[in-house]
Every structure is written in C-alpha cells, then in structure tokens.
Amino acid sequence: MPAPKTESLVIDLRPDKKIAKDVEKMSRLAAVAMRPVTSIPMHTAACEMISEAKRQLAKIVGWYDKILKPLNAARAEVNSSKKEQTAPFDLFISLRSRAVADFEQREEAEEKRRQERAREYAEAIAREEQQREVARLRELAKSAPKAERATILEQAKAVASAEPIIDMPESTKPPLDRGDLDSRETWSAEVVDLGALLAAVVRGDVPMGAVEPNLPWLNKQARQVREKRIWYGVRFFTTKSFAMGRE
C-alpha cells in the first residue's frame, strides 16, 4: 500500500517579542513566588502579581490556541476519515470473532459433556470388573482350605471397599485450527453483593482497593452538603483558589 500523500507543514513556534519578554520576566520571578506573605501590603502586591500573571498566561494560551485550532481540525478530519474507512473491517472482525467464540464455547461444552459421559461409562466398567473380582474371590474362598479362607475373604473385602481404577480413554478430537489467530481469555469482575464485599474488606479478606472511594461523587456531595452533615470516614473541607475578577 503506497504511503498517503501529505503536504509539508512548517509552523513557526517562536512567540512574538512581547510574549517572549513576559515569559523571561516570569521565569526570573520564580524565586519571588516562593516567598511567604507576611503583611497586608505584601498580600495586596501578591494579588496584583497573580492577576497580571493570569493576564499574561491568557495571552500565551490564546496565541498557541490559534496554532492548534487548524491542527485539531485537521486531526479530527483525518480521524473521521480513518473511522469511516476502517468501520467495515472492525464490524466484520467483531461479528465473525463473536461467531467463532460462540462456536468454540459450544464445542468446548460438548467436549466436556462427552468426556463426562466417557468417564461415567469407564467408571461403570471399572465397578463391574471390581464386582466380578469380589465375586471371584468369594467363590474362591468357598473351596479354599480353611486356613486360607479368612485371608481370601479379607482380600475380597479390601477390593470391594477400594476406589475402582478408571481407565479414561484419551481424547482423539483434534484441536480447532485458528490459522494465525491468537486466542486469549479476558477475565472481568462484577459486584453482585456490595454489602458482602464491604464486609469482606472490613474483615481483611479482600484488599481495600476493591472499594476505592468515588471521589468525583464525594466532591459533588461536598459542594451540596458542605458543613451540614457528618459522614463517618469522610472529611468535608475547602481550599481557596484565585480567579480574575470580572471587569
């Protein structure tokens, strides 16, 4: 397959002189940003510096967004075309793979049933042979000398109480030919009893990772309940961040 034709793309990522100057200035102010605020004048100055930094940051982000906009549009168009062209292949592979997997599962289930029937038959044959051996020993004891009779009967008793030796025939069914396809099993988990799972975690039978906190949901609850409710094991707290005021 020939490589797709693409036009060469050259992008000048060098910011203009004003932006470059602002970036250089902000880099030098890194040490100042770590200084603690210890007075009201310092607090006022720090807020003004944060506001100015946010304005400069917005300019830089906007400048790069102008570059990214056509690139993102081109990427979206390429991905859309890619999805359109690969969709029939993905659909075919998905449907036929499902059909193959279903067939293999049916074949595996049938093979298990066949093996179970073969085992039941082999066990029945083994028990018949065991019973014949017990009957032979008991019959032999009847005509055996008195001194040997007890030993033969004990032997018959041992044979009768022993587990029969089952001679299972090996499966002669050839494995399914998948060609160059690989097969793999994917294990998944489903919570069928949340209460039982929580109890197992409390006992230490299941790792704590099985019930990790749902932080997005808890944060949503925190914004709603705030300090109005106490939940055991949960602390609701606030953090402050600063945003540009509306002009």
The model's pTM is 0.49
Could you write out the DSSP letters of every residue in 186-236? ------S-HHHHHHHHHHTSS-GGGG---HHHHHHHHHHHTTS---TT---
Ordered by start, the domain boundaries in the chain are: 17-161, 194-225
CA-to-CA distance for 244 and 242, rounded, in angstroms? 7
Farthest CA pair distance, the chain: 120
Residue with tokens 């009967």: 153
CA-to-CA distance for 17 and 63, rounded, in angstroms? 13
pLDDT tens sequence for the chain (247 residues): 555 666 666 677 777 788 888 888 888 887 778 888 899 988 998 888 888 888 888 888 888 898 888 889 988 999 999 999 999 999 998 898 889 888 988 988 988 888 888 888 888 888 889 898 889 888 888 888 888 888 888 888 888 888 877 777 676 677 777 777 776 777 888 899 999 999 999 999 999 899 888 899 888 888 887 766 677 888 888 887 766 654 4
Residues in the chain: 247
Q: What single letter denotes the amino acid at residue 62?
A: G
Helices (H) and strands (E) in the chain, counts: 6, 0
| Helix, strand, coil distribution of the chain in percent, nearest 5 | 65, 0, 35
CA-only gyration radius of the chain, Å: 39
